Amino acid sequence: MRSWKWEATAGRALLILVVFVAVAAPWLAPNPPDRQFDAYLYAPPTRIHGTYFYPLRLISRLERRFEEVRERPVSVRWFGAGHLVSSADPNDPLLLLGADSYGRDIFSRLVYGSRASLGLAALATLATMIFGAVVGGIAGYAGGAIDEILSRFSDFVLVLPAIYVVLALRAVMPLVLPPGQVFALLVGIFALVSWPVVARGVRGIIASEREREYVTAGRAAGASPMRLLAVHLMPAARGYLTTQATLLLPAFILAEATLSYVGLGFPTSVPTWGTMLYDASNVALVGEAPWMLAPAAAIFLVVLAVNLVVQGSGRPPLVR
């Protein structure tokens, strides 16, 4: 018997790596994410030569051309000052993925941005799962008029074009908000437009399970409807909820990136993968500074990891 579970294993390993990067962002980032190095606008990635690197000098601001100052090597400091790796001279930054249009370290902003992007997606997924499971569970167990009302309401929300609803809801809010309020607002909006998908699936599972023998036995033993629903029926929907969570997580990451890209998400001063892509939106500059597309690569890795987990978990083993 040979198993194809390597896909799920690889996906989980990638997700663990991404979560580790988000948690260890202050340690992994060589520079503060908001520090601007005025002489390093659109600077290319630093080339490390063993234990040192050469700082960059701007040759042509119009052409955005830099050269290494080879007469002045700077030591690379490992495990110092609370960072994994950093420059021994704070005025000559170590730019592992280059700098953006403000001279900020892209790698530092990338690892710090994973906190906002992943945290937002995770909380929005959790809120969607809880609300959708509660509504679907009540509708599936109660049946009758309650089921009809909740089902029709979820159908109404479901047929709305989600991306346009999200854009409209965010557009009617004040554009300038503190980052914390933007975070909470986006979590609420994402959950608001996504819960019907979860509710419909849970409702179908609960409706098919409520007449089984173990539920009838629970009623006969005097179990309350709340206990039957929470303890006995909801575990039947665990697999469905897990699958939906793995699908919604990358979808919310992309949604945050989309809103920030069009200027309706976080302000550009806050490092998220969406605001970084907004800074890289000039197509002409992307050809000259491809390192600015690093957040797109990070989003791709998360989506790939989730897809590997879903495909690996759902593929039957190959017997030969």
**Tens digits of residue pLDDT in 270-311:** 888 888 888 777 655 566 778 888 888 998 888 888 888 777
Whether residue 77 sits in one domain with residue 131: no
- Predicted confidence band of residue 26 (pLDDT cuts 50, 70, 90): very high
Residue 233: inside a domain: yes
3-state secondary structure at position 83: strand
Whether residue 124 sits in one domain with residue 241: yes
Residue 195: inside a domain: yes
Whether residue 130 sits in one domain with residue 182: yes
Residue 294: inside a domain: yes
User: Are 40 and 95 a contacting pair, CB within 8 Å?
Assistant: yes
Whether residue 215 sits in one domain with residue 238: yes
Say which residues have a Cβ less than 8 Å from residue 269's Cβ, sequence separation at least 6.
Answer: 34
Tell me whether residue 95 is exposed, middle or buried, using C-beta atoms within 10 angstroms of its C-beta: 0 to 12, 13 to 18, 19 or more: buried
Whether residue 177 sits in one domain with residue 88: no
Residue 38: inside a domain: no
Looking at 94, 127, 154, which one is the last position of a domain?
Answer: 94
Residue 7: inside a domain: no
On the question of pLDDT at 215 being above 80, the answer is: no
Give me the mean pLDDT over the 126-151 stretch. Answer: 89
Residue 161: inside a domain: yes
Summarize pLDDT for 31-88 with one digit per residue, the tens.
999 999 988 888 889 999 889 999 998 888 777 788 888 888 999 999 887 889 999 9
Residue 183: inside a domain: yes
Summarize pLDDT for 89-136 with one digit per residue, the tens.
888 999 999 898 888 999 999 999 999 999 999 999 999 999 999 999
Whether residue 188 sits in one domain with residue 75: no
On the question of pLDDT at 318 being above 50, the answer is: no
Residue 34: inside a domain: no
Residue 109 is predicted with a pLDDT of 94
Looking at 94, 126, 151, which one is the last position of a domain?
Answer: 94
Say which residues have a Cβ less than 8 Å from residue 239's Cβ, sequence separation at least 6.
Answer: none
Count of domains forming the chain: 2
Task: Please report the DSSP string for 19-67 in residue order.
Answer: HHHHHTHHHH-SS-TT---GGGTTPPPPPEETTEEPPEEEEETTTTEEE
Whether residue 120 sits in one domain with residue 77: no
CATH label of the domain that carries residue 150: 1.10.3720.10
Whether residue 114 sits in one domain with residue 83: no
Whether residue 309 sits in one domain with residue 190: yes
Task: Please report the DSSP string for 242-304 in residue order.
Answer: HHHHHHHHHHHHHHHHHHHHTTSSS-TTS--HHHHHHHT--HHHHHH-GGGGHHHHHHHHHHH
On the question of pLDDT at 252 being above 50, the answer is: yes
pLDDT, averaged across the chain:
83
Question: What residues make up the domain containing 148?
Answer: 108-314
pTM reported for the whole predicted model? 0.81
Looking at 61, 94, 127, which one is the last position of a domain?
Answer: 94
